[in-house]
Structure 1
Amino acid sequence: MADTKIEKVCVIGAGTMGAGIAAQVANAGVPVLLLDILPKDGDNRNAVAEGAVKKMLKTDPAPFMSKSAARLVETGNIEDHLDKVAECDWVVEAIIERLDIKQSLYEKLEKVRKPGTAVSSNTSTIPLAQLTDGRSDEFKQDFLITHFFNPPRYMRLIEIVAGPQSDAGTVAMVRDFVDRKMGKTVVDAEDSPGFIANRIGTFWIQQAVNAAFDQGLSVEEADEIAGRPMGVPKTGVFGLVDLVGIDLMPHLMESLTSTLPKDDPYQKIARTEPIVEAMIKEGYTGRKGLGGFYRMNKDGGKRVKEAKDLKSGEYRAAARPGIVRGPAQKDLKALISAKGKVGDYAWAILGPTLSYAASIVPEATKTVVGVDDAMKLGYNWKAGPFEMIDKIGAAHLVERLKADGLPVSSILEQVGDKSFYRVENGKRQFFGTDGEYHDVERPEGVLLLEDIKLSAEPLLKNGSAALWDVGDGVVALEFTGKMNALDEAVMKLIQQAIPLVKKDYKALVVYNEGSNFSAGANLGLAIFAMNIAAWSEVEKQVKTGQDAYKALKYAPFPVVSAPFGLALGGGCEILLHSDAIQAHAETYTGLVETGVGIIPGWGGCGEMLSRWMANPRHPKGPMPAVSKAFELISTATVAKSAHEAKEHGFLRKDDQVTMNRDRLLYDAKQRALALVDGYEAPEKPEYRLPGPAGKAALKLAVDSFRKQGKATPHDETVASELAHVLTGGDTDVTELVTEDHMLKLERESFMRLARNPKSQARVEHMLETGKPLRN
């Protein structure tokens, strides 16, 4: 079985989760068969599955990384098309959480699937042993649980449960597919109720809601304490319940209380509040309903945020309590030790939750790493429970648990005054249930900068960037500033890196492990210079960036950029200057400068022209490429995935995509090494551009948008400067425009806009609010 490849998948169940799983398979470029029951009425027997695909094409955030991926989804129904399962290598069951219905489906599947086809359930509550009860040994060998998290495209966690009879090769085949193709981090779970993340997560939410009612806190106070200071989503607990649906909570409670042992600590805290029951009954189920613990209401034509009063059950204007102050904002031990309601509430949540998390090792998963990964990836916690315990101090936690009569698990007793994680000989290690430390193992093909840093010093470093040796003659350029914003220090390090790499190394990868690749140029520095009219300093910043990116582009070695998350403005421009791009699938890139009243200043205009002029599917001649680049830049278009970035030309056709974020550096490094032999820097481009005639044509289009109310007066000013650059200034199609002339045009237009008070207002507004100003 281990050599078998998954070339087609069948998903049975076209609800939100099943359809989302099918979409992610399609995002991986793999055909998928999506089946569901017959509709209650109508002649279209495939209406349920077809409807799910149509809905996903309109959903935001989008389940599909590109609308073209939907073509890989074949729809059908269980009555007419179950025999098509024989074409598939893996069947994912994602139907209603009822054991009898699932078992009935498995009986039918056993008759139609080919030998060796993996079958898995997306259940989050029913034990594997019950699911396969009554099935043949052959079926049990190919069966496992694959518990995805919603939405499947964006949530990286998958919990896999293998049974005692599950074939190791079949499990390995599915593991490899969900890891490399679907981009998931696999956490191995035991066959216990709720598995890992939902078991701890449900306990945590229940404990937080209970304590807020018991201690008389407002929902805003509770969310301020139990949000960012704890390193959990900024929504806090009540905001999170609104997001996932208040009506989901009773179902989770019923599921866990019916499957967990009677002496499990969750059984003691499971309860509902009359106010919450009334909310569900009246349709106040959160963001998907009429509102939840929070809602947006209109007052005098303005949208006002309101919060539910937990005593009266009425809505009132939401407040910003501001009660978490000082070290408690960032220090977990200080938070649970704070005097008054802040410390009391924080401890009421964290004490029992961390105690509970420690108690389910090894019952729910064999290691503390499994628990931490599950909560970080499944619930977006910044630190897992055992990482939190290390911040507090295990001995201190045990002392407080005992003082409050809360249970202390054997692993907490075992670790004593040591920590659950340590670094030994440059390796991160975890404390095991055997009382020994073990290396944290990475899967083959996973290379992380955080691991390299444990035993290495940077080759170069300043306040905004660093250069690291990542092995095999490849170095990684890392941005390190806030939001990985780009400034003069980054450009200086690029210029320093080039001779070093040329002398001692083979290739360079642009990569980091922040929340985003780069949000673009440091606008704070730019507006400071603008406000004091230091125009020579502003122009210097533009010229320094142009020179650094140009030096990188023509360096005598391959440069591969490895973006993920946001890669905007200057962060997009460095991609455009690279020899190749190895992008994480979830890369959101674009030249967004017009949103702050300027144009791309670090070579982005010329690079986008080059991309579209070289595109074999695009019409030839100067104007089509100019029009396309103008459209993308003037509207600040951002690709919503790496696949969409190819469609917009931010990535080339042969640029590659990595689905699993943890594999990005390794893949980029391999891509760079593949370019080393016979490498030659690119030739300098020359452009034939339409000049003033082309600019006039673009101006007509902008005039039309302004008349329709789609463009503001200052949009028109910015677009005019952009058109001037893209059409080559005062030239015509008989002349050749050099790259250096394009850069000069770009600088001049950038500076004219930088001096414009309306552009300055846009930059300031973006820095203050994070939103574009429409002036």
Structure 2
Amino acid sequence: MILDIKNVAVLGSGVMGSGIAAQVANAGISVLLLDMPSVHENKKNSLAEEAIERMRSADPAPFMSPEAIKRVTPGNFDDDLEKVKNCDWVIEVIVEKLEIKQALYAKLEKFIKSTTLVSSNTSTIPLHKLIEGRSETFQKNFTITHFFNPPRYMRLLEMIKEPKTSRETVDVLEDFCDVRLGKGVVLCNDTPGFIGNRIGTFWLQTGMLTALDMGVSVEEADAIFGRPMGIPKTGIFGLMDLVGLDLIPLIGQSMKASLSPEDSYCRNYSEPDVLKKMIADGYTGRKGKGGFYRLNKENNSKIKESINLQTGQYHPSLPVKLPLQDNLRALLLLPDRLGQYTWKVLSEVLSYAASLVPEISDHIVGIDTAMKLGYNWKYGPFELLDKIGASWFVEKLKKEGRSVPSLLEKVGENTFYRVQTGRLQYFTLKGVYEDVHRRPGQLLLSDVKLQSKPVIQNGSASLWDIDDGVACLEFHSKMNTIDPDIMAMIRQSIDEVSKNFKALVIYNEGTNFSAGANIGLALFTANVALWPLIYQMIAEGQQTYKALKYAPFPVVSVPSGMALGGGCEVLLHSTAVQAHAESYIGLVEVGVGLIPAWGGCKELVTRWMTNHQRSGGALVAIGKVFETIGMAKVAKSAAEAREFLYLRPEDGITMNRDRLLADAKAKALSMVKNYNPPEPQELSLPGSTARTALLMAVKALVKIGKASPYDEEISKKLAFVLTGGAADITDKQTEDQLYKLELDAFMMLIKNPKTLERIEHMLETGKPLRN
């Protein structure tokens, strides 16, 4: 059996197949992407080639970098299938028809090595049927690896275990998909829909049909099955629009054909007339003219509309405000129509999930993990039952004369999860608790927090001991925005780590590392004209970040999600970065009429000026920084962040978020021995000559209407800083001088009413204003 996977073939270049190929390429692996040959003799690879081209311009992008695209080689089944002999893993992603898959496997078996692993991405055909008629070796090396779409962004990968699949096959693929592809691998039983789609599509079906029966609007349903449940704001109907309404009946019919007629899925299943008509009229969701929601263009503006489930007519969509939306049980107890709807849907879904153990998974952790990673639920079904109260839930079911799954009866007054001696445990079918295990190399701060208390903390940040002499600074303000408490905690952490630790990592398990400075606080302070206070906040921030950069120990910052503005500046002042592959990093201050002033301009221009691999002189380097900051460019992956020099070549990238903290800790410890802080650098910046050249380009953009006059004003301040202010090219610029240029430019901009308009607009809409 192979110990590593170095070459992969993907058979089928449709949306899923090409997306899987892209994610394998993102992991640095060479991929052979094959599909049916074209009838055109000179373009036999056109299906695979066109799939690659589509992905180049797709948004969201399947590829993390241009280098990843180069790792995918297109081909066709007639001419290139024999090339799979060089592959360690072959992933089949063709049409969901058993006979066609089996025919392909028969051809494939002639070429693959005895050690080649083979898997199918199917979610509808049982594994034991797929391998009928194949050799013992093929069956031993075969499993199902069900990716969720889009493969780059959806973390769930369901892997099916079957008696004929060898343990070694499962182990090798599980390890590779976890470490290299960044997937949360959940082992499932070989049942229809596995875990995610079995429960997820039942939830969508139940939510839709119950809304129809009870006269609940699509906005009301999505408001309920959104924030109160810890579910993305798409809710039920918005998610169906995203998936595609034409797929909903296909999935439902497949499930109905595969399951027992007594299964709740089948007993509750139907296809409402309103859905049939929408599909017939081309309203198939976001990929069509719209779905349950649509955008109607009137008078050069777009109006979001939603369908009336009873009449089939569209009307302007209005937000729904729910009472008690942070208290789930209280919402279930509301006596009105919405409370009754919430209980009806949730009780069906949670009861169904409980009834499926151990049919679809041997334990509740796999089910909760699948729903969280595959459907982006914050809480899995059993975590929701703990929030509601399992015993209360059972009692309410009994009062209504409804059946109670045995697992719910068994848990009684207990909870499905508990913390015992600092360890998270789950309730088993045996009626006892077992520890929730992490895979080797996974370290979660949430686990650390169960076993200890913060070393120091305040309202926005905490410092934790994560063992081996490493401390972890955690931000936990709203969206992890940088505020005075976080600044204070950074300074306190530097003192604490200097005395009692070897190294510091800056990490949190929020959705985003940091959305930047707290601009709401800045707006409030500016509106009451407390200019000395703003000046002090920026100056203290500069000194705090400088202290971080020159700390007498290694500082490793660990971004995931957004690291914008002040969050990006934390990374720029760290000794090293260990970034999650899905990190979106950028200096975006111009979007609110400002420039980076906590050292972002200084650090980025220093990186470009001292980058030995850059071509051209100082003006080229400064031009790159001017463009990056002036256009508020955000890297859409950690790999792309290296191109902008937000990350350095030696900074690490981790594919799996659950491995991020462990990798960062290891990086920090590797730097401890003989560690010395960096030496201060001085720059020779080109001054007014370069400034003139930079601003000519901006004037041209203003002239053609692609930039506003106020964009030009901001650009003047940015160019003044990046080119060294009034200094001559023969002068050396120190860090403190560049900090001062940033601070002065920031203060001039924050006092301008147009900047305040931009900040206010961003806070109200979440979008930049180009005034």
- Residue 75 of structure 2 aligns to a residue in which SS? strand
> 2:343 corresponds to which residue?
347
8 A Cα contact 2:7 2:29, kept in partner = yes
Do structure 1's residue 546 and structure 2's residue 520 form an aligned pair? Answer: no
SS in 2 for 1:236: coil
Aligned twin of 2:602: 606
Residue equivalent to 1:104: 103
Distance 1:744 1:13, change over 3 A: same
Alpha-carbon deviations, 1:365-416, whole Å to 9, x = none?
1110001000011011110000000111111111122233433221111101
Match of 2:13 in 1: 14
| Inter-partner Cα distance in structure 2 for 1:699 and 1:225 | 51
* 551-560 or 332-341, larger mean C-alpha shift: 332-341
> 2:552 maps to which residue?
556
Count, aligned residues: 771
Give the one of 347, 365, 373 matched to 1:369: 365
Q: How do 1:205-354 residues align onto structure 2 when only pairs under 5 Å count?
A: 205-322=204-321, 324-325=322-323, 327=324, 329-354=325-350
Q: Which residue in 1 is equivalent to 2:503?
A: 507
CA contact under 8 A between 2:516 and 2:567: conserved in structure 1? yes
- What is the deviation of 1:123? 0.5
Shift of residue 505 of structure 1?
Answer: 0.8
Q: One-letter code of the match for 1:698?
A: L
Cα deviation 1:305-351 (Å, max 9, x = unaligned): 111111221222223343x21x2x01221111111111111011101
Tell me the equivalent position of 1:54. 53
- Partner secondary structure for residue 279 of structure 1: helix
Which shifted more, 73-82 or 219-228?
219-228
* Structure 1: 5+ residue stretches without partners: none
Residue 202 of structure 2: aligned partner: 203
Task: State the shift of 1:620 in Å.
Answer: 4.9
Counterpart code for 2:242: L
Q: Which amino acid aligns with 1:632?
A: T
Structure 2 equivalent of residue 462 of structure 1: 458
1:616 and 2:615 correspond = no
Counterparts of 1:622 and 1:739 in 2: how far apart (Å)? Answer: 17
CA contact (8 A) 1:488 1:544 kept: no
Q: What is the identity percentage for the equivalent residue pairs of Structure 1 and Structure 2? A: 54
Match of 1:674 in 2: 670
Deviation of 1:34 after TM superposition, in Å, equals 0.5
Structure 2 residue aligned with 1:400: 396
Whole-angstrom CA distance in 2 between matches of 1:233 and 1:477:
28
2:191 aligned partner, one-letter code: S
Please point out which of 492, 516, 519 is paired with 2:512.
Answer: 516
Q: Does 1:65 align with 2:64?
A: yes
* C-alpha distance in structure 2 between counterparts of 1:80 and 1:409, whole Å: 54
- Any conservation in 2 of the 1:352–1:406 contact (CA below 8 Å)? no
Q: How does 1:715-754 map to 2 (within 5 A)?
A: 715-754=711-750
Q: How does 1:654-673 map to 2 (within 5 A)?
A: 654-673=650-669
- The Cα of 1:68 is off from its aligned counterpart by 2.2
Distance, in Å, in 2 between the alignment partners of 1:311 and 1:705 is 50
Query: Is residue 474 of structure 1 aligned with residue 473 of structure 2?
Result: no
- Corresponding position of 1:31: 30
Say if 1:765 and 1:771, in contact at 8 Å, map to a contact too. yes
Tell me which amino acid in the other structure corresponds to 2:410. Answer: Q
Q: Distance in 2 between matches of 1:171 and 1:226?
A: 35
Q: Does the 8 Å CA contact 1:232/1:381 hold for their aligned counterparts?
A: yes
2:156 corresponding residue in structure 1: 157
TM-score by length of 1: 0.98
> Could you tell which deviates more after superposition, 568-577 or 33-42?
33-42
Instruction: Give the Cα–Cα distance (whole angstroms) in 2 for the partners of residues 470 and 594 of structure 1.
Output: 37
Aligned alpha-carbon RMSD (Å)? 1.1
2:766 is aligned with 1:770: yes
Q: Is the 8 A contact 2:363 2:428 kept in 1?
A: yes
What does the per-residue CA deviation read over 1:129-159, in whole Å, with 9 as the maximum and x for residues that have no partner? 1111111111110000100000000000000
Q: Deviations over 1:89-121 (max 9, x none)?
A: 000001111000111111111111001110001
- 2:644 corresponds to: 648
In 2: Cα distance, 1:299 partner to 1:710 partner:
24
Maintained 8 Å contact 1:180/1:660: yes
The CA distance in 2 between the partners of 1:495 and 1:38, in whole Å, is: 62
Tell me the CA shift for residue 677 of structure 1. 0.9
Alpha-carbon displacement from aligned partner over 1:271-297 (angstroms, at most 9, x marks no partner)? 001111111112111111111111111
CA contact (8 A) 1:589 1:640 kept: yes
C-alpha distance in structure 1 between counterparts of 2:301 and 2:75, whole Å: 46
Report the alpha carbon displacement of residue 229 of structure 1 after superposing the two structures with TM: 1.8
Distance 1:559 1:170 in 2: 39
Residues 83-122 of structure 1: matches in 2 within 5 Å?
Answer: 83-122=82-121
**In structure 2, how many angstroms separate the alpha carbons of the residues matched to 1:623 and 1:94?**
49
Equivalent residue number for residue 532 of structure 1: 528
Counterpart CA distance in 2 for 1:491 and 1:317 is 44
Task: Provide the rounded CA distance (Å) in 2 between the counterparts of 1:404 and 1:239.
Answer: 31
For 1:390 and 1:193, how far apart are their aligned partners in 2?
27
Indicate which of 581, 585, 591 corresponds to 1:585.
581
Secondary structure of 2:439's counterpart equals: coil
> Do the aligned residues in 2 keep the contact of 1:354 with 1:389 (CA within 8 Å)?
yes
Matches of 1:493 and 1:398 in 2, distance apart? 45
- Report how far residue 499 of structure 1 moved: 2.1
- Report if aligned partners of 2:216, 2:338 keep a CA contact under 8 Å in 1: no
User: Which stretches in structure 2 are left out of the alignment for 5+ residues?
Assistant: none
Q: Judge which range, 544-553 or 691-700, deviates more.
A: 691-700
Q: How does 1:400-419 map to 2 (within 5 A)?
A: 400-419=396-415
**Range that drifts further, 227-236 or 100-109:** 227-236
- Cα displacement (A) at 1:529: 1.1
Cα displacement (A) at 1:167: 1.4
2-side partners of 1:237 and 1:276: how far apart?
14
| Aligned partner of residue 661 in structure 2, secondary structure | helix
Amino acid at match of 1:512: N
Residue 739 of structure 1: how far off its partner (Å): 0.7
State yes or no: 1:379 paired with 2:375. yes
- Please give the secondary structure, in 1, of the residue aligned with 2:574: coil
Contact kept, 8 Å, 2:294 with 2:306, in 1: the verdict is yes
Distance in 2, matches of 1:636 and 1:110, equals 51
SS of the residue 1:242 aligns to: helix
Contact 2:597 2:743 in 1 (8 A): yes
2:184 aligned residue: 185
Aligned to 2:146: 147
Q: Is the 8 A contact 1:355 1:406 kept in 2?
A: no
One-letter amino acid of the counterpart of residue 539, structure 1: Y
Q: Give me the whole-angstrom Cα distance separating, in 2, the residues matched to 1:515 and 1:299.
A: 36
Letter in 2 for 1:225: I
Q: Secondary structure at the match of 1:43?
A: helix
For 1:580 and 1:236, the matched residues in 2 are separated by 39
Q: Who is 1:483 aligned against?
A: 479
Q: Which amino acid aligns with 1:599?
A: I
Give the Cα separation in 1 of the matches to 2:402 and 2:614. 68
- Inter-partner Cα distance in structure 1 for 2:239 and 2:232: 8
Structure 2 vs 1, CA of residues 40 and 244 (structure 1 numbering), >3 Å: closer, same or farther? farther
1:226-272, Cα deviation, whole Å (9 max, x unpaired): 22222212112111111110000111111101111221111111100
